[in-house]
A and B are shown apart, each in its own frame.
Chain A
Amino acid sequence: MIEIQELTRTFGATTAVDRLTLTIAEGEVFGLLGPNGAGKTTTVRMLSGLIGRTSGDATVAGFRLSDPGSARKLRGAIGLLPEEPGLYPDLSAAAVLDFYGRLYQVPAALRADRIEKLLTLLSLWDRRDAPARTFSKGMRQRLAIARALIHDPPVLFLDEPTANLDPEGAKTVRDFLLELRRERRTILLSTHLLDEAERICDRVGVLHTRLLAVGPPAELRAGRHGHVTQVQLAEVTDAVLAAARVAAAGPVEVTGGAVAVPVGDPGRDNPALVAAIVAAGGRIRFVTEATTSLEDAYLTLLGSTQHGNPQPGNRQPAVTQLEGTTLGGPQ
């Protein structure tokens, strides 16, 4: 549904997006993670046909960015929620949707149906005739989401959909996004909220001018650190440590009464690890899997980038390809 090849955008001497290559499958929800200034909005704008690209190309819903003849059709096939809702404060919610429905050439009867359906789904139907200026931030954001859906697009670009919303407003929007996910729409969600990405997205990519890593959130978490089994013991002896090191896939760390043992596959390796520790005289209190948060993984990725100080045109391995994943979407 979305195929991006070496997409690059520079502004003067500054490279905003550097050789982005990615495939997002039909029905997939893909989260584009990154700090402010990472190139997320520029990417969304390029894919929406709002701004041009410096090099590279992309196909969105079957339309190539490089084909100027299909620009109008491309924009008709996508729904965009920009960072700011960008509503008309003097127009009512229904009038805003009616205006956009007309621009997308949605027939009148269908337009009326969609306006009612979307405003009802987003809990705005009772306020349909109220000017948008009387809406709360959360209501404006919901109205902007309804606007992005008025023409029932197969592809949605959502730029920071819950930014600046209070927890209740953010939850309402997230619940609606989960509903969209169930409808199997192709969604590119740009966010810096990792928890949101983990809950909503099938896969995520970490962008910091370049795409640093891509994969399902769980694998992104595990991908940088591998799996670590934490064994809490009554006492850590040299014999226990030696047994743990034999079974470990990497350096073993000791913290208080616990040993953290990297393993390749916990399901396969943990029974042997436990047996080895018990055989060495270790008295195990409990065994858990040490989890790395997505935030840890994300910060590690960004930290390594900042230390690596990537420069435009610096051709180092650009993407961490996670175990079992490809840059393409789920097949």
Chain B
Amino acid sequence: MSARNVAVVAAKDLRITITKRSARLSLVIFPLVIAVGPPLLARFTGAGHHGVPAVLMPRVLDAFTFYFVIIAAVLPTAIASYSLVGEKIERSLEPLLATPVTDGEVLAGKGLAAFLPPIAAIWAASVLFMALCDELTRGELGRLYFPNTTALLIVGVVAPLAAIFGVEYSVLISSRLSDVRPVHQLATLSVLPFAGVYVAAQVGAVTLDQPTLAVIAGALAALDAVLFAATRATFRREEILIRWA
């Protein structure tokens, strides 16, 4: 696989992504809402509006941090859906595949282009989130809660794995449909497993501690590997040109 070809395909897709206003807005608005909303909730809600009690604060902040995993699973789906279905609609895959690029390079380039902007936005938003949380909860907690290993595990490991899951799931759906909207609608279902984990944490079925997050990351990595194999099997030029059109 040529890293150069992967980079060329990814750069092209990134260029197209930034021309789309809706993509730009979703990359800014969702992470920003998660970065600003929960810290304000933590500080200004609760009994007597004095915020969440200090004893509960770490658990609440960890749960809020997990929101970044949830949006990591869903944000790349819009870009990935358009990336493939858009090429179907424009019939641009045939000339692309007629170049010396391999199927794997096209797939990797598209995956990278769908993965990088959301994860960059999520990381930038998480820095803002942690800084805001520290600022707003320092008095209550008597210390800076962020950064910590749990948060870094969530944002630095689980969120990227969730984003890869979202990209690959979108690619699989894109291979079966030819309209961006239903593909995106179905692709957003990739959020469900992560929402499930969040709910389980809220009802006390699981604790979002480091061992649990390590297990989630391991399971996600395995799932990503399975989905990657499935997308490679789906994304074959003959399949694309004969069945996708």
| Residue contact B95 to A95, C-beta cutoff 8 Å | no
Interface size class of B (residues with CB under 8 A): 20 to 34
Query: Is A174 in contact with chain B by the CB < 8 A criterion?
Result: no
Known A45-B241, A52-B238; contact A88-B99, beta-carbon cutoff 8 A: no
Query: In the bound complex, how far is the Cα of B96 from the Cα of A163, in angstroms?
Result: 21
Query: Is A289 in contact with chain B by the CB < 8 A criterion?
Result: no
**Contact flags (1/0) for A5-30 with B, using CB distance below 8 Å?**
00000010000000000000000000
Query: Is B237 in contact with chain A by the CB < 8 A criterion?
Result: yes
- Inside 8 A of B19's CB, which chain A residues have their CB? 90-91, 131
Other-chain residue from A51, A76, A144 in contact with B95 (beta carbon distance below 8 A): A144
- Inside 8 A of A242's CB, which chain B residues have their CB? none
- Inside 8 A of B93's CB, which chain A residues have their CB? 86
- Inside 8 A of B94's CB, which chain A residues have their CB? 50, 80, 82, 84, 86
**B4, B91, B98 — most chain A CB neighbours (10 Å):** B98
- Inside 8 A of A11's CB, which chain B residues have their CB? 242
Query: In the bound complex, how far is the Cα of B153 from the Cα of A176, in angstroms?
Result: 59
Other-chain residue from B5, B8, B241 in contact with A50 (beta carbon distance below 8 A): B241
Query: In the bound complex, how far is the Cα of B8 from the Cα of A75, in angstroms?
Result: 17
| Residue contact A72 to B98, C-beta cutoff 8 Å | no
Query: In the bound complex, how far is the Cα of B98 from the Cα of A131, in angstroms?
Result: 22
| Residue contact B8 to A104, C-beta cutoff 8 Å | no
How many residues on the A side are at the interface (Cβ–Cβ under 8 A)?
Answer: 33
Query: In the bound complex, how far is the Cα of B105 from the Cα of A102, in angstroms?
Result: 14
| Residue contact B16 to A88, C-beta cutoff 8 Å | yes
| Residue contact B12 to A88, C-beta cutoff 8 Å | yes
Query: In the bound complex, how far is the Cα of B101 from the Cα of A125, in angstroms?
Result: 27
| Residue contact A99 to B100, C-beta cutoff 8 Å | no
| Residue contact B238 to A75, C-beta cutoff 8 Å | no
A59-80 residues with Cβ-Cβ distance < 8 A to B are 72-73, 75-76, 78, 80
A132's nearest neighbour on chain B, judged by CB, is B90
**Contact flags (1/0) for B80-102 with A, using CB distance below 8 Å?**
00000000001111111111111
Query: Is B20 in contact with chain A by the CB < 8 A criterion?
Result: yes
Query: In the bound complex, how far is the Cα of B242 from the Cα of A61, in angstroms?
Result: 25
**B4 CB → nearest A CB, Å:** 8
Query: Is A135 in contact with chain B by the CB < 8 A criterion?
Result: no
Query: In the bound complex, how far is the Cα of B161 from the Cα of A25, in angstroms?
Result: 53
- Inside 8 A of B102's CB, which chain A residues have their CB? 72
B215-240 residues with Cβ-Cβ distance < 8 A to A are 237-238
| Chain B residues near A (Cβ < 8 Å) | 4-5, 8-9, 12, 15-16, 19-20, 90-102, 237-238, 241-242
| Chain A residues near B (Cβ < 8 Å) | 11, 45, 48-52, 72-73, 75-76, 78, 80, 82, 84-91, 95, 99-100, 102-105, 131, 144, 147-148
28 A-B contacts (beta carbon < 8 Å): A50-B97, A50-B238, A51-B238, A72-B102, A75-B98, A75-B99, A75-B100, A76-B99, A76-B100, A82-B94, A84-B91, A84-B94, A86-B90, A86-B91, A87-B90, A88-B12, A88-B90, A90-B20, A91-B16, A91-B19, A95-B15, A99-B8, A102-B8, A103-B5, A103-B8, A103-B9, A105-B100, A144-B95
10 pairs of A and B residues whose beta carbons are closest in the complex: A84-B91, A86-B92, A80-B98, A103-B99, A86-B91, A90-B19, A76-B100, A72-B100, A82-B94, A102-B8
